[in-house]
C-alpha cells in the first residue's frame, strides 16, 4: 500500500509527459495548404484530433466545392456546420460563408441571424464588412458605419456605388477602378449637379485621369487649380494619345515650375525626359535650375549626343537612377544598330551600374554586353557573360537568346514535342501579416484580398514587394489585367540582389490561365499551347473582356472581321469574349502565320501584332544572321517590344527556369 501513491504519481506524470509529447507532435505537423489532396483533407476534417485543423480542412474542402461549376451548397453547408466556434478569426469566415449560403438558397431569416451573430462577435474583422453591407439594406446607418470603418473593402465600394453621386468622392479616393465607378464619377461631375468645392473637384478629376478619361477630368476640374497629383495623373493620361503629346508636355512643364520641390515635379521631369520630340527637349531647358540639373533632365540632354562622353558622365553621377539605366540602353542600342560595337561595349561595360539594375534590365544589359564582345572577336568573354546570365536570369527573352547563342536550347514549335500548359502549384504569399498568410494558405483568395485591401488607397506605385503581393492577390480573385500589371511593375522596381523574389516573379509572371481552353485550341490547330499562352499574356493578360482601342476583343485580341473569316460566319462581341472560342480562332490565325513564314516564330509573332504585309517589308539578311539586331530594327516600337515579350513568354512557359540564387530553392513565395 505505501507504494500506491508513488505508482499513481508516476502514472500521472507519465500520462502528462505523453500528452505533452503528443501535443508537440501535433504542432510539428506541416500546416494544411491548398496543395493538399481532397482525400487527405477529408480524413483531417473527419478524424483529426485537433479541432482547429479540422476547421481548416473544412474550409479548404468548402472552397473546392464552391469553385466547381454551380457550386454544391449542401456539401458546403455540411462541411461548415458547427465550425463557427471560438474567437479565432476563422470563425468569422465560417459565419460569413454560412450567411452567404443561406442567402443564396433563399433562407433570408437564417442569413440575417448569421450576419447579426458575425457583427456581434467579430465587429472589427473584415468579414463584418459584408455583414454591414447585407444588414444595411434595411438599416442605412449600418452602411455609413461600413464606409467609415472599412473604406477600401469591396463591400464598402459596392455600397458607395449604390449611393450614386453621393458615393462618388468615396469611390474617387478608395476605388476609382471599381466596376461601375467611372460612370458615377462622370455623373457627379455632370452639369446641373450640386456644387462642389475645389478640393472635391480636384479629387474627382484625379480619379477620372487615373481611368484615362482626360476629357471628363478636365470638365470636372473646370477653372479650379489642379493639385500636383492630379496634374501628374492628367499628363500621364494625355501621353497615352499621340495627338495630345504636346498638351501633356506643357502640363508637365507647368507642374514642374509650379511645385518644383514636390515628388510629382520630379516625376514630371522623368516623363519629359522619356519624350522623343523637340518640344520635350525645349521643355527641359525651361525647367527650374534644380530640376534641370536632375538625372532625368541630364539624361535627356545626353541622349542628343552621339558621343559616349555625356552619357558616361550621367551614368557615373547617377548610377542608381532609372533615367541612367534607360539612357545606357538607348545609347548602346543606337551604337549596336550602327555597328559601332566598341562604343556599345564601352557603354555596357561601365562598372558604375554593376549590381544596381532590376533583373529584367540586368538581363538585357548582360546579353548585349556579351554580343558586343562577340562582335569584337572576344568569343570567350562573350560566352562567359552569357553563362553568367543563364545562371542568374535564365527566363525571358534574353535568357532565350543567351541559351540559343550557347547552344543550350531553343523554343519548341513542334506541337507534338512542345510541352502542354500545366497549372502552377500553390506557394506561400511571403507576407509579414500572419492572418493574411493564413487565409492564403487555406485557399481563401477573396478573403485574403479583402484583408489586404483594408486601409489601402488605390494608387499606382509603391514598394515592389507589396506590388508582388497585390499582383498575386488580384490574379487569385480573377483580376489578371491589373494583377499581371502589378507584377510587371514590380519586376522593373525590384532592387538588385533580391534573387529569391526574382524567382517568385519569374514563376508568377509565367503562370498561365485558361489552361484547358488553350491546350484544347493548340491540339486542334496543331500549335503549341505555350505559344498561345505567350500571345494571350501579352495581348490581354489573360483577361477575356479586354477590348483594344481599334476594336480587338478577348483572350487573344481578335478583330471581329478576322474572327468571322476564321470561323466562316459572323459573330458578335459576346461570342468573341468566350475564352474557348477566342483561343480556337487565335490558334488558327497563328497557324496561318507560322505556315506563311515557314515556321519562323519571329515573323509569325510580329505579324500577329503588325500584320503580315507590314512584316514582309522588314525582312532583311539580319533576320537569319543577327536575329536580335533584326528585332531591334523593327520600325514600330510597339511591335519591337511585343516580339520580345511574346518570345520571352514562350521560352519561360515551356520550362520552369528559376534563377540560381546560390542558396536552397526556397523562396519567399
**What would the pLDDT profile of 551-575 be if each residue is shown by its tens digit?**
999 999 999 999 999 999 999 999 9
Query: Which pLDDT value is given to residue 461?
Result: 54
Q: What are the percentages of helix, strand and coil residues in the chain, rounded to 5?
A: 65, 0, 30
pLDDT at 27 over 80: no
pLDDT tens readout for residues 286-314: 999 999 999 999 999 999 999 999 999 99
pLDDT at 649 over 70: yes
Residue 661 CB neighbour total at 10 angstroms: 17
Q: What would the 3-class secondary structure string for 369-403 be? A: HHHHHHHCCCHHHHHHHHHHHHHHCCCHHHHHHHH
pLDDT at 13 over 90: no
Return the half-sphere exposure (C-beta side, CA atoms, 13 A cut-off) of residue 124: 2
CA distance linking residue 506 with residue 657, whole number of Å: 8
pLDDT at 11 over 70: no
Catalytic residues: 539
Q: What confidence tier does 665 reach under pLDDT thresholds 50, 70, 90? A: very low
Burial letters for 172-207: b for 16+ Cβ neighbours within 10 Å, e otherwise?
bbbbbebeebbebbbebbeeeeeebeeebbbbbbbb
Query: Which pLDDT value is given to residue 496?
Result: 87
The residue among 26 and 437 whose pLDDT is bigger is: 437
pLDDT tens readout for residues 136-179: 999 999 999 999 999 999 999 999 999 999 999 999 999 999 99
Radius of gyration of the chain (CA): 29
Query: Which pLDDT value is given to residue 667?
Result: 44
All cell numbers assigned to 222: 473646370
At 336 the three-state DSSP class reads: helix
Across residues 121-150, what is the average pLDDT? 95
Q: What confidence tier does 219 reach under pLDDT thresholds 50, 70, 90? A: very high
pLDDT at 91 over 50: yes
Query: Which pLDDT value is given to residue 276?
Result: 83
Query: Which pLDDT value is given to residue 65?
Result: 77
Nearest to 135 by CA among 151, 153, 120, 154: 120
pTM of the model: 0.90
Query: Which pLDDT value is given to residue 497?
Result: 86
Query: Which pLDDT value is given to residue 462?
Result: 75
pLDDT at 459 over 60: no
Query: Which pLDDT value is given to residue 334?
Result: 97
pLDDT at 431 over 90: no
pLDDT at 18 over 80: no
The residue among 198 and 459 whose pLDDT is bigger is: 198
8 A C-beta contact, residue 348 and residue 332: yes
Query: Which pLDDT value is given to residue 69?
Result: 53
CA distance linking residue 163 with residue 156, whole number of Å: 11
Residue 443 CB neighbour total at 10 angstroms: 22
Query: Which pLDDT value is given to residue 352?
Result: 96
Diameter of the chain measured on Cα atoms = 106
Question: In the chain, what percentage of residues exceed pLDDT 70?
Answer: 93
**Chain-centroid distance, C-alpha 144:** 32
8 A C-beta contact, residue 540 and residue 507: no
All cell numbers assigned to 350: 561601365
Backbone angles phi and psi of 197, in degrees to 5: -85, 175
Residue 39 CB neighbour total at 10 angstroms: 8
Q: What confidence tier does 657 reach under pLDDT thresholds 50, 70, 90? A: confident
pLDDT at 16 over 60: no
pLDDT tens readout for residues 69-81: 556 888 999 999 9
pLDDT at 17 over 50: no
pLDDT at 604 over 70: yes
All cell numbers assigned to 471: 499582383
8 A C-beta contact, residue 640 and residue 632: yes
pLDDT at 23 over 60: no
Q: What confidence tier does 22 reach under pLDDT thresholds 50, 70, 90? A: very low
Across residues 630-635, what is the average pLDDT? 97
CA distance linking residue 575 with residue 365, whole number of Å: 43
pLDDT at 10 over 60: no
CA distance linking residue 96 with residue 133, whole number of Å: 12
pLDDT tens readout for residues 612-629: 999 999 999 999 999 999
8 A C-beta contact, residue 455 and residue 430: no
pLDDT tens readout for residues 491-549: 999 998 898 999 999 999 999 999 999 999 999 999 999 999 999 999 999 999 998 88
Q: What confidence tier does 14 reach under pLDDT thresholds 50, 70, 90? A: low
Amino acid at each position: 500500500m505505501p507504494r500506491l501513491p508513488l505508482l499513481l504519481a508516476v502514472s500521472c506524470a507519465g500520462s502528462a509527459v505523453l500528452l505533452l509529447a503528443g501535443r508537440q507532435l501535433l504542432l510539428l505537423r506541416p500546416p494544411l495548404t491548398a496543395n493538399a489532396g481532397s482525400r487527405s483533407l477529408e480524413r483531417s476534417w473527419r478524424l483529426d484530433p485537433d479541432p482547429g485543423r479540422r476547421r481548416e480542412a473544412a474550409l479548404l474542402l468548402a472552397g473546392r466545392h464552391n469553385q466547381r461549376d454551380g457550386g454544391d451548397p449542401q456539401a458546403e453547408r455540411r462541411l461548415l456546420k458547427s465550425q463557427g466556434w471560438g474567437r479565432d478569426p476563422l470563425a468569422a469566415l465560417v459565419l460569413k460563408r454560412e450567411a452567404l449560403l443561406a442567402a443564396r438558397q433563399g433562407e433570408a431569416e437564417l442569413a440575417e441571424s448569421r450576419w447579426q451573430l458575425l457583427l456581434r462577435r467579430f465587429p472589427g474583422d473584415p468579414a463584418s464588412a459584408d455583414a454591414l453591407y447585407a444588414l444595411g439594406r434595411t438599416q442605412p446607418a449600418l452602411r455609413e458605419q461600413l464606409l467609415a470603418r472599412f473604406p477600401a473593402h469591396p463591400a464598402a465600394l459596392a455600397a458607395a456605388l449604390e449611393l450614386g453621386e453621393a458615393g462618388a468622392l468615396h469611390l474617387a479616393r478608395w476605388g476609382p477602378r471599381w466596376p461601375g465607378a467611372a460612370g458615377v464619377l462622370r455623373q457627379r461631375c455632370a452639369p446641373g449637379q450640386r456644387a462642389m468645392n475645389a478640393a472635391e473637384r480636384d479629387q474627382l478629376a484625379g480619379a477620372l485621369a487615373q481611368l484615362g478619361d482626360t476629357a471628363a477630368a478636365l470638365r470636372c476640374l473646370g477653372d479650379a487649380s489642379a493639385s500636383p497629383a492630379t496634374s501628374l495623373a492628367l499628363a500621364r493620361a494625355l501621353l497615352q494619345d499621340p495627338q495630345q503629346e504636346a498638351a501633356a508636355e506643357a502640363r508637365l512643364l507647368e507642374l514642374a515650375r509650379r511645385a518644383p520641390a514636390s515628388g510629382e515635379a520630379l516625376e514630371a521631369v522623368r516623363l519629359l525626359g522619356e519624350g522623343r520630340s523637340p518640344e520635350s527637349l525645349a521643355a527641359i531647358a525651361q525647367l527650374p535650375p534644380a530640376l534641370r540639373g536632375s538625372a532625368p533632365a541630364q539624361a535627356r540632354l545626353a541622349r542628343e549626343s552621339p558621343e559616349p562622353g555625356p552619357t558616361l558622365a550621367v551614368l557615373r553621377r547617377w548610377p542608381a537612377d532609372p533615367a541612367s539605366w534607360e539612357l545606357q540602353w538607348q545609347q548602346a542600342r543606337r551604337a549596336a544598330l550602327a555597328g559601332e560595337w566598341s562604343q556599345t561595349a564601352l557603354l555596357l561595360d561601365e562598372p558604375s551600374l554593376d549590381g544596381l539594375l532590376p533583373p529584367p534590365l540586368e538581363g538585357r544589359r548582360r546579353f548585349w554586353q556579351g554580343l558586343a564582345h562577340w562582335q569584337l572577336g572576344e568569343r570567350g568573354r562573350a560566352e562567359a557573360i552569357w553563362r553568367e546570365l543563364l545562371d542568374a536570369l535564365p527566363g525571358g527573352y534574353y535568357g532565350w537568346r543567351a541559351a540559343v547563342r550557347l547552344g543550350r536550347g531553343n523554343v519548341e514549335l513542334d506541337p507534338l514535342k512542345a510541352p502542354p500548359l500545366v497549372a502552377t502549384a500553390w506557394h506561400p504569399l511571403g507576407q509579414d501579416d500572419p492572418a493574411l498568410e493564413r487565409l492564403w494558405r487555406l485557399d481563401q483568395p477573396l478573403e485574403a484580398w479583402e484583408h489586404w485591401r483594408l486601409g489601402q488607397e488605390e494608387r499606382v506605385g509603391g514598394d515592389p514587394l507589396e506590388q508582388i503581393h497585390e499582383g498575386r492577390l488580384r490574379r487569385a480573385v480573377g483580376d489578371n489585367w491589373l494583377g499581371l500589371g502589378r507584377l510587371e511593375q514590380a519586376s522593373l522596381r525590384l532592387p538588385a540582389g533580391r534573387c529569391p523574389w526574382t524567382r517568385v516573379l519569374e514563376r508568377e509572371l509565367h503562370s498561365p490561365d485558361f489552361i484547358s481552353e488553350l491546350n484544347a485550341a493548340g491540339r486542334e490547330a496543331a500549335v503549341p499551347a505555350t505559344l498561345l499562352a505567350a500571345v494571350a499574356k501579352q495581348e490581354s493578360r489573360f483577361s477575356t473582356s479586354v477590348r483594344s482601342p481599334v476594336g480587338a476583343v478577348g483572350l487573344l485580341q481578335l478583330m471581329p472581321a478576322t474572327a468571322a473569316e476564321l470561323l466562316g460566319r459572323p459573330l458578335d462581341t459576346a461570342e468573341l469574349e468566350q475564352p474557348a472560342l477566342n483561343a480556337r480562332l487565335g490558334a488558327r490565325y497563328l497557324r496561318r502565320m507560322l505556315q506563311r513564314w515557314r515556321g519562323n516564330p519571329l515573323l509569325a509573332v510580329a505579324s500577329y501584332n503588325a500584320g503580315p504585309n507590314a512584316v514582309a517589308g522588314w525582312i532583311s539578311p539580319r533576320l537569319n544572321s543577327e536575329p536580335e539586331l533584326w528585332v531591334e530594327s523593327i520600325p514600330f516600337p510597339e511591335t519591337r517590344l511585343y516580339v520580345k515579350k511574346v518570345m520571352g513568354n514562350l521560352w519561360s512557359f515551356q520550362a520552369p527556369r528559376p534563377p540560381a540564387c546560390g542558396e536552397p530553392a526556397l523562396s519567399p513565395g
